[in-house]
Amino acid sequence: MTERQNHIKPVEIKVRPVETKTEIDERGAFQRQPNRFTTPFGSEEGQLEAKPGKYRLFWARGCHWSNRASIVRELLGLEDVISVNQVGHTDDPERLKYGWEFAYEPDLKDPVTGAEFLAEFYYRADPDYTGRSTVPALVDLDTHTVANNDYHRLTNYFETAFKPFHKEGAPELYPQELRQQIDDLNDNVLFPFVNNGVYRMMFAQSVIAYNEAFDDFFTTLDRFEKHLETNRFLFGDYVTDSDVRFFVTLARFDTHYYRNLGPIKRSISDYKNIWGYARDLYEIPAFKNNTYFHDIARGWDRKKEKLFVDYNSRFADDIDFDAIWSQPQKRKYLSKTPDQKFLIL
């Protein structure tokens, strides 16, 4: 154990709540739990300090809420400022009931903190916590407690509060003059209709709730398909925070989400402009490096022991997702700066 680990007390964790039992309203609609640790980063009293080496980001390959934080971290060059590790699941049903664990570590423990389960950081921060232990989780390495799990704002904090630590020539993903528009798109369109829209469909417990989510999702995709006919990215010539948020859902729809839905209107690959746009983003190393298509596609039945297993789960290891997503697309000339995808100030 590290010196930090030696000073951390063990903590008792609880069985993970199940979304379809605890986050469904009287209409059968999914109501996602609120984030518990939302103290913002900043210089005012009571706010969190952006400090190199103080925080560790935990994220999961299949979770788009956390995937966007890992992409932005790399885009901005914060690798040496915020350490990182991934959580996942083993095949042990007894461990599965406690939620995310350090499944990729040989001893099933995070090498920096010594934790076995993500939940440890949550219950150490709040012993009375009753929600799910979710990613992204930005953990304070001095206390081994969750400092912030606000996926709504975490990438924005990376873009602003951590700006003094960005690499030289880091992209401006959250330009001051566009922030109100970016926030509006993120909060009022991408979150309810796209990012959370797929979960509203997958967790719906009534046909009415499912159909509402279905209409919201595909109506919004139709809107974006039209917009991207003449715009390279959501806000024109350059990639912004909003593009990261859209991409992570697009990357999972044809490879995973579809298996939990009824008849779908279209696959992502059926949208000419959206599909080209997604591949344009995938060309960027930070997007490619943090997108684990084979893990996303395999699903839960990794042993393939059930009689009926969906196509991607059966053949995930044989599909060359990188080749599919690296197919040429002719979108660069929609931009005034064809060879420059980022605004560099």
Mean pLDDT across the chain = 95
Does residue 116 contact residue 133 with C-beta atoms inside 8 Å?
A: no
Residue matched to tokens 């640790």: 37
Tokens (6 digits) for 227: 């917009």
Q: Which residues are catalytic?
A: 63, 199
pTM metric for this prediction: 0.95
DSSP output for 19-33: HHHHSB-TTS-B-PP
Could you report the per-residue pLDDT of 297-324, keeping only the tens digit for each? Answer: 986 666 767 778 888 888 999 999 999 9
Share of the chain above pLDDT 70, in %: 96
The C-alpha atoms of residue 6 and residue 114 are separated, in whole angstroms, by 9
pLDDT above 60: residue 7: no
What per-residue confidence (pLDDT) applies to 3?
47
For the chain, where do the domains classified as CATH 3.40.30.10 start and end?
A: 11-165
Q: Report d(CA 55, CA 209) in Å as an integer.
A: 39
Residues of the chain with CATH 1.20.1050.10: 176-334
Predicted confidence (pLDDT) at residue 2 exceeds the cutoff of 70:
no
Topology adopted by domain 11-165: Glutaredoxin (3.40.30)
Q: Provide the CATH number for the domain formed by 176-334 in this structure.
A: 1.20.1050.10
Residue with tokens 């190393």: 285
Q: How far is CA 225 from each of CA 51, 100, 112, 220, 279, rounded to the nearest angstrom?
A: 40, 35, 44, 9, 14
Q: CB atoms < 10 A from the CB of 269, how many?
A: 16
